[in-house]
Structure formats: C-alpha cells, structure tokens
Amino acid sequence: MASCCSIRPVACLKPHEMLSRLRPTWLLFILLCFTAANLYYKFKWNTPNLYWLWPQSVCSCQKCLAEGAHEFKSLIDASPKPFLSIPSPTTEDDFNWWKKLQIEQRSFAFLNETINNLFTIFPHVPQIEQPSPDRCRTCAVVGNSGNLRGSHYGPLIDHHNMVIRLNRGPTKGYESDVGSKTTHRVMYPESASSLDNSTHLVFFPFKINDLLWLLRSFAPRENGQENPKRIGNKNLVMIVNPAFLKYVHEIWLKKKGRYPSTGFMTLVLSLQLCDEVSVFGFGADRDGNWNHYFEILRNKKLRTGPHPGMQEYEVIRELHQRQIIRFFQGL
C-alpha cells in the first residue's frame, strides 16, 4: 500500500516545499491589503466633507437618545420647535387648541402682539447647548414626589450636567435626597419662585395671562431701570411653545386627560435637550400617595387632578424598560 506521502498532500510536504506553494497566496493577500489601505487613505484625506462609510455618533455618551429605536425616534421627530422664538411662532391651529385649556377669549392676533412684546426683552432664540460628537449632555429631571424622601439620590442628581427642577421644589434642607444643583427651573405664574442669576427659567404658559404676567415680571421701569420684581435673568428665559403642549398631549398621551402635567411635559422636553436622561421624583410614594417630598401629607385622597397621572407614569416606566431613560423610583 502506498504511504500517505505518495499522493503528496500538503501535510506531508517538507517545510521549504510548503512555503513555495503558499508564497503566491501570501503575496496576493499582501497585495490586496496594500491596495485596500491605499484606497482608504485616499478617500479619507481627499473627501473632507463626506462622512465615513460607517455612522458617526451624535454624542460622546455610551448611548445617545438620538440613536434610539425607530418608533421612539419618530416620536421625537414629530415634535414642533419646543420653545417660542422669533423664527418659530406658534400657529393659529395650535393656538385654538391651547386657548381651550383655560377658556381664553382673546384673539390669535393679541397672542402674537404679546409674544412680540416679550421678545423686546428676551433673546430671540433661547440658549440651548447643541449636540456634538465630543459632548455628552446628561440631564436629571427632578420631580417633587414624596418617594424622594430618604432616597439619598442627591449626589447622583448633582452629577448631571443639567438639573431641571419643577415649580417650587426646594433643595435647602433636602440636599441628601434631591441634591443642591439647579440649572433649569420649570414654572408658571402660580408656581413661580425667584431664581439666581445663573438658572434658566423654563416657562410653561397655559393662557395669555401667563405671558402677560411674564412680561410684567421683566419689563423695565418707565425710566429704563431694571424691574426690581423680576424673578430671574432675562437672558436665560425659555418660553415653551403652546404647540409643544399640544404635541405632548396628542402624540405621547393619546389625548388622555385634559392636558399633560408640567412634570411629564418637562420629561418629554428633556428628550429634546439631552443625550442621556435620568428621572427622579415621579409617581406616588411607596404607600400609593401622590404627595410632595417637602410637605406633610394631609389629604390621602389627593390624586393628579386634570392630568392623566397613571398614564404618564406608565409611559415613563416603558421608556425606562426600553432603556431610553433611567427612572429612579425612590422609596
């Protein structure tokens, strides 16, 4: 019987014979690698205005909101401009929806006149940090739920770039649970408080009177001096577009309830402003009570009024389960 080497398989070849057989293959492989590398560098240096063949991240976070699931991205893309500005006024259709919230009788023309007066005081376009591949805009949205008591979330909240607080939610005396940092404060006239000179005022108007109140709060005196009653830095005022309220109600909440809560609208707003969003202080406490961390609960039958609280809570939980936001549910 012939040995296995009589048919000269590769395994039986001597080393110098094997090398001679493989050399053409290696030479071809090296030539192909050299050609590919040459084409890559020609493409890189001669096409500076083109993106790479692979996607470039929109932020430097481990996971960017703008790169979320398709159905989530479609919700974000459906948003109108979230803030009023000179190039982005609200429409008459949006006004007609908005004025029903508080039974507004004045006209669309009066609204536009009021907005024009506001922009003689405030910046025509609000200050918003834009997305960038070398930046990660982390945001903490801090509600006022009683489930924050004893949570010790304070240091975690303060670690975020932006900390957005709601209405009169205090920090002094509650630092260990809610933190001490505030970059943005959401309010409307009935929930207003004075702000320091570095905090953005995120103003939610529910009626024309709210806009008139804002105008009075910042308009200079007749002699041109600053208004002593102004509640914040006029250069850091951001007025939410009534169209945005309508968008949150119809697209996110499917028209449940009369209109969304300020807290839920703030959460949806943060998805427009941030690359990563963490949510604190939403929902009931561990006993099922809807209360505030800074108040003693007296009415255990208190719920969420005209706002669809449970619907909003379920949307927040779903966003958390799909890893779009991080939801810290407290104690």
159 is catalytic: no
Q: Is residue 97 part of a domain?
A: yes
User: What are the tokens at 105?
Assistant: 């009788």
Domain hosting residue 25, numbered range? 14-54
Q: Among 160, 184, 249, 307, which one carries the catalytic annotation?
A: 307
pLDDT, residue 229, reads: 72
User: Please, what is the end-to-end C-alpha distance for the chain in angstroms?
Assistant: 83
pLDDT, residue 5, reads: 44
Q: How many structural domains comprise the chain? A: 2
Q: What is the CATH number of the domain that holds 302?
A: 3.90.1480.20
Q: How far apart are CA 153 and CA 165, in angstroms?
A: 14
pLDDT, residue 19, reads: 44
Q: Is residue 7 part of a domain?
A: no
Low-confidence ranges of the chain (pLDDT < 50): 1-8, 10-11, 13, 15, 18-19, 22, 39-54
Q: Is residue 6 part of a domain?
A: no
307 is catalytic: yes
Task: Specify whether 41 is located in the same domain as 176.
Answer: no
pLDDT, residue 44, reads: 38
Q: Is residue 19 part of a domain?
A: yes
> Tens of pLDDT along 277-315?
999 999 877 777 778 899 877 665 555 556 678 899 999
pLDDT, residue 328, reads: 97
Task: Specify whether 164 is located in the same domain as 24.
Answer: no
Q: How far apart are CA 269 and CA 275, in angstroms?
A: 12
Amino acid at site 58: V
pLDDT, residue 264, reads: 96
Q: Among 153, 188, 259, 293, which one carries the catalytic annotation?
A: 259
pLDDT, residue 285, reads: 78
Q: Is residue 60 part of a domain?
A: no
Which strands, in side-by-side order, build the sheet including 276-280?
237-239, 200-203, 184-187, 162-166, 138-142, 276-280, 326-328
Q: Is residue 214 part of a domain?
A: yes
pLDDT, residue 197, reads: 94
CB 308 within 8 A of CB 253: yes
Task: Specify whether 38 is located in the same domain as 85.
Answer: no
Task: Specify whether 236 is located in the same domain as 101.
Answer: yes
DSSP H helices, 128-237, are 154-158, 175-178, 208-218
